[in-house]
Amino acid sequence: MLNLNPERRIRTLLEEAGIEINGHKPSDIHVHNSKFYGRILAGGSLALGESYMDGWWDCKKLDVFFTKLLQSRIQDKVQRDPKTILAALQARIFNSQHGRKAFQIGERHYDMGNKLFEAMLGPTMAYSCAFWDGANNLNQAQTNKLNHSIKKLHSNPGMTLLDIGSGWGSLQRQAARFYDLKTTGITVSREQEAWSNRKNALYHLGDRAKVKYQRWQDLPNDKRYDRIISIGAFEHFGYKNYRAFFEKVRSIMKDDGIFLLHTIGGLKSVHANEPWLENYIFPNSMLPSMEQIDKASAGNLTKRHVENKGFDYDPTLMAWYANLMRHWDEINASDPQNYDERFLRMMTYYLLSCAGTFRSGINQVWQIVYTKDPNLEYQHAT
């Protein structure tokens, strides 16, 4: 392998995954720039994504391409590139969620534009894995997830619910409207805060659904909640902060409280994000392992139930991609300078490569229920 030229080396690796260059299968890639091979060998996964954004290669079924690539365990066959190693070292040295850094994910990703997310996510504006059992469409599947999650909390009307990383407020509205809970949400996105509070006002929810622009680190310890939930936010907290997060949850939870953590997870413990996702989609983020979560929660909360919904994220991402393509002309027309062809290629690469990670089983989605009192009676809600 070491003596092969860059093109031959890339061809050989891809052939082991059942992928041809300029082949006829939908998962084969078509290379438009001969510098592609050297760029990938020098820059690894970051260069693969950037070269796609630059139009250096194409693939009819990018989701299938990534599924094949990951199922072949190509990541174990290639040497980690220097940029990946540097990112891991930086993550070990620096706290990527310290101070103002906690707000960067909101500013760079969640504030990209509500019109974009309205078109892509659909009516619920839920930006996390939908639950597809018995669902025929994305809206129904997301509503399934909201109800399924709330029921696990075994709440009574009038209870207080804190949503850490509340997004555009879909779970809050569901909990306030249909379960009569008094909800507070926090988000590090100004756009999400404003959008959620406007939507809540349309439903006349009053003090039953309020959203604040706030880090979880700044939640006051003198305010305690009956129930706490966090869906799709833990991935942005960074491993250096996991234990502090569980300590915070414990400190603001009533003695008979229940906490539901919903997070994407990885099979292996890592300390940094995948380089392309770090640079273009989710800065200062990473996927936790179950080992890291268990270590951080130990001594703080008692784990009562775990559910894996990882394979539901593949159809969720494909539904978001279908919505993106269906509405692309109007998205592009709303802001052609920012929503240009390169942006579309970036979003395509993001959604379809992530679909491949879940379809291949590399990534998981966990819902973990905790109680503060280890002796509290808890029965899993189906």
- Residue 191, both tokens: 């756009």
Q: Are residues 269 and 346 in the same domain?
A: yes
Last residue of a domain, one of 48, 79, 110: 79
- Residue 207, both tokens: 């003090």
Q: pLDDT, tens digit, for every residue of 317-336?
A: 999 999 999 999 999 999 99
The DSSP output letter for 13 is: H
Count CB neighbours of 68 within 10 A: 22
Average pLDDT over all residues of the chain: 92
Please give the angle made by the CA atoms of 171, 152 and 179, to the nearest 5 degrees: 50
* The pLDDT of residue 84: 41
Residue 175: CA atoms inside 13 Å, Cβ hemisphere, count? Answer: 34
The answer to whether position 379 is within a domain reads: no
Q: Are residues 120 and 38 in the same domain?
A: no
| Position 208, amino acid | R
Q: Are residues 230 and 302 in the same domain?
A: yes
Q: Are residues 73 and 108 in the same domain?
A: no
Q: Which residues are catalytic?
A: 354
Last residue of a domain, one of 79, 110, 129: 79
Q: Are residues 122 and 70 in the same domain?
A: no
Local confidence band at 108 (pLDDT 50, 70, 90 cut-offs): confident
The parent domain of residue 182 ranges over 99-371
Residue 2 has pLDDT above 80, yes or no: no
Phi and psi for 160 in degrees, rounded to 5?
Answer: -95, 140
- Residue 132, both tokens: 């597809």
Q: Are residues 281 and 147 in the same domain?
A: yes
The answer to whether position 186 is within a domain reads: yes
Q: Are residues 113 and 72 in the same domain?
A: no
Q: How many domains does the chain have?
A: 2
Residue linked to tokens 């809970």 = 181
Q: Are residues 243 and 185 in the same domain?
A: yes
Residue 345 has pLDDT above 80, yes or no: yes
Q: Are residues 63 and 182 in the same domain?
A: no
Residue 103 has pLDDT above 80, yes or no: no
Sheet with 363-371, strands from edge to edge, namely: 209-213, 182-187, 160-164, 225-231, 253-266, 363-371, 302-308
Measured CA to CA, the distance from residue 370 to residue 228 in angstroms comes to 10
Please give the angle made by the CA atoms of 330, 189 and 96, to the nearest 5 degrees: 120
At how many degrees (to 10) do helices 36-53 and 6-16 cross? Answer: 60
Local confidence band at 175 (pLDDT 50, 70, 90 cut-offs): very high
Measured CA to CA, the distance from residue 77 to residue 79 in angstroms comes to 7
Residue 292 has pLDDT above 80, yes or no: yes
- Residue 105, both tokens: 């994910």
Q: Are residues 280 and 313 in the same domain?
A: yes
Local confidence band at 80 (pLDDT 50, 70, 90 cut-offs): very low
The DSSP output letter for 21 is: B
* The pLDDT of residue 107: 87
Q: Are 319 and 138 in contact (CB under 8 A)?
A: yes
Q: pLDDT, tens digit, for every residue of 191-223?
A: 999 999 999 999 999 999 999 999 999 999 999
Measured CA to CA, the distance from residue 297 to residue 303 in angstroms comes to 8
Per-residue pLDDT averaged across 276-295, rounded?
A: 95
The answer to whether position 381 is within a domain reads: no
Residue 75 has pLDDT above 90, yes or no: no
Q: Residue 108 sits in a domain of what CATH number?
A: 3.40.50.150
* The pLDDT of residue 90: 41
Measured CA to CA, the distance from residue 112 to residue 284 in angstroms comes to 17
The answer to whether position 1 is within a domain reads: no
The answer to whether position 28 is within a domain reads: yes
The answer to whether position 157 is within a domain reads: yes
Pick from 364, 365, 357: which is nearest to 67 by CA?
357
The answer to whether position 91 is within a domain reads: no
